[in-house]
A and B are shown apart, each in its own frame.
Chain A
C-alpha cells in the first residue's frame, strides 16, 4: 500500500488539502477564539487587539467580559437552552419517522430499493431554502392546510401554525429527515436475515425479534443519523428565521444578530465558542461512527452510485 504513491507524491496528496483546510478552517477558529477574549471597539475591525506591547514585548490581554456578559443576560441562556431542546426533540422525531422508513427501504426488492432511495435523496438535491419556504405557504393562516381544514369544517377559525414551536419542529424535521434515513438504511441493509429466521424458528415473536436483534444491531446507524441531524440543527438559522417564533430566538440567530445588527464581534465570537464547546462532544462521537457514516455517504452523494455493483 505504502509504495502506491511516491514519497514526494505522498507529501503533495496529503499536504495540499491539509494546508488549505488549516488556512481556511482551523486558523479561522483560532481567530474566533482570540476575538472572543477581546473587547469591542468602535473601530475597524471593531475589536481591541489582543496583544499589547509592554516595553516591546507583546503581552496578551485576555478579557473574560464577553463570556461574563453571556452569563448575565438571560437572552443567551434561554436561546441556547431552547436551541438544544428543539434540536433534541427534532432529532427524536426524525428517528421515529426515519427508522421505519429506512427499515421498509432495506426490506424491499433491489429494484424498488434504488427508486425509493432516490426519492429520499431527491429533496436533498433541491434547494434547502426553497423547501423551507414551501412551508410558509402550507402553514400560514390563509395557507393550504387551513384552507383544507376550513373547507372540511374541521375548524371554524384558521389555526395559528406559522411562527410557533410547531412550525420550527416541522421545518427542521422536514429538512433533516434524509440525513437520518440514509445512514440508518446503510446500516439496516447490511443485517443478516438468517439471524431473524433463527430467532423465529426458536419461537421469538416479531416485536421481540425487532427489539432483541434488529434494534441492537442498528445502534451505530441510529447514532450516526442522530448526530447528523442534531449537530447542525442546534445552530440552524434558516428554519427559525422563516418559520420560527419572534419572541424566542435560536442561538444561530442570536449569533448572527450580534454580528450584523449590534456589530459586537467579540460577543458573537464568544457565542460561537460556547456553541462549539457544547458541540465538541457530539462531533467527536460522530468521528467515532465515521465508518458507518462513510458507508452511507456515497448514497447521499450519488443516487446512481447506490445501485452500481462494486
Chain B
C-alpha cells in the first residue's frame, strides 16, 4: 500500500505541476517588457504596458463585448432548456423518446466540434435557402449554436443533482396535497438551484471560450474574442494575449474563491440549523 500511495502522490504533484506551469509562465511573461514574450528583459520589466495595450485595443474590446453578450444569452437559455431536460431524464421515469433525449444530451459533449459546427452552418444555409431565415450569419446564429451545445452540459449537471436526491421530498409534498406547480417551486427548484447556477456558469465559460463551432457559424463582422485571439496567436506569441490570459485566470480564481467562501458559510449555517433542530427535539 505504501509504495502505491507514494508513487501516486509523486504523480499527483507532477501532474499538477504539468497543469499549472504553462499558466504560470503566461502570467509571468505578461509583465515582460520584450515583445519576444519568452526572453525576460530584466532592465525594463516588470511592466504593465501589455495590459495598457490590451485595454486600449478597440478590436479586442469590441470582440470581448460581443462574446459577453452571446455568453450571457446562451448560458441563460441553455440553463432553462438544460434544466427541463435534466428534470425529464431524472424524474419522468420511462417516456417516449427518452433514449433519444439521452443520446442528444450526451453526444454534444464529446462530439468533435468541427462536426457540430459544420452541421449547424449547413442547417442555417439550408434554412435560409428554404424560408429566407436566418439572413446570413452573425450573433444570433452563434447564440443558437452555443445554446445547443451548452444545454447538454447543464442537463448533465442538473440531472446528476436530481439523481442524488431521491424523490421522497417531492412525494411527501404531493401527499400533503400540494399541486405539481407548487411542488416544483417550493421543493424541486430550491434543491436544484445550486446545480442550475453552476450549470449557468459552466455554460457561460464554454460559450465565452468556444472557437471552433463559432468559426463555422459566425458571419463577417461578428468576430468573438476567441476568434480574434486565435488569429493573433496563429502567427506566434503575442504579449497582449498573455495579459488577457492573466486577467481571465484572475477572474476565474476570484470567482472560485467567492464560491468556496459562500459554500463554507452555507455549510456552517446548515450545521447550525441541524444542531438547533436536534436541540429543539430533545
- Chain A residues within CB distance 8 Å of chain B: 1-6, 9-10, 12-14, 16-18, 20-22, 24-29, 31-32, 35, 45, 97-98, 100-101, 103-105, 107, 116, 118-120, 122-123, 125-131, 133-138, 140, 142-144, 147, 174, 177-178, 181, 196, 200, 206-207, 209-210, 227-228, 231-232, 234-238, 241-242, 252, 255-256, 259, 265, 268-269, 272, 275-276, 279, 283, 286-287, 290, 294-295, 297-298, 301-305, 307-310
Contacts and interface: CB of A to CB of B under 8 A. Distances in A.
Given A13-B92, A100-B12, A242-B233, A255 B1 contact: no
Contact of B112 (A12, A20, A235, A265): A235
A127 B248 contact: yes
Interface in B112-148: 112-115, 118-120, 122-123, 125-126, 129, 144-145, 147-148
Contact of A298 (B84, B161, B167): B161
Given A10-B92, A137-B29, 7 more contacts: A119-B19, A137-B26, A238-B230, A275-B112, A275-B115, A279-B112, A304-B198
26 contacts: A9-B180, A13-B87, A14-B98, A17-B105, A21-B151, A25-B107, A26-B104, A98-B15, A100-B10, A120-B19, A126-B23, A137-B242, A138-B38, A178-B19, A237-B113, A242-B234, A256-B114, A269-B122, A290-B102, A294-B160, A294-B163, A295-B160, A297-B157, A301-B153, A301-B157, A302-B198
A interface: dominant SS? helix
B114 A255 contact: yes
Contacts of B115: 32, 235, 255, 272, 275-276
A236 B15 contact: no
Contacts of A268: 118
B53 interface: no
Contacts of B153: 301
Given A5-B91, A22-B104, A283-B110, A305 B12 contact: no
Interface of B: 1-5, 7-12, 14-16, 18-23, 25-26, 29, 36-39, 81-82, 84-85, 87-88, 91-93, 95, 97-98, 100-108, 110-115, 118-120, 122-123, 125-126, 129, 144-145, 147-148, 151, 153, 155-157, 159-161, 163-165, 167, 170-171, 174, 180-181, 183-184, 194-195, 198-199, 202, 205, 208-209, 211-212, 215-216, 226, 229-230, 233-234, 236-237, 241-242, 244-245, 248-249, 252-253, 255-256, 259-260, 262-263, 267, 270
A31 B14 CA distance: 46
A3 B262 CA distance: 35
B48 to A, nearest CB: 19
A297 B125 CA distance: 34
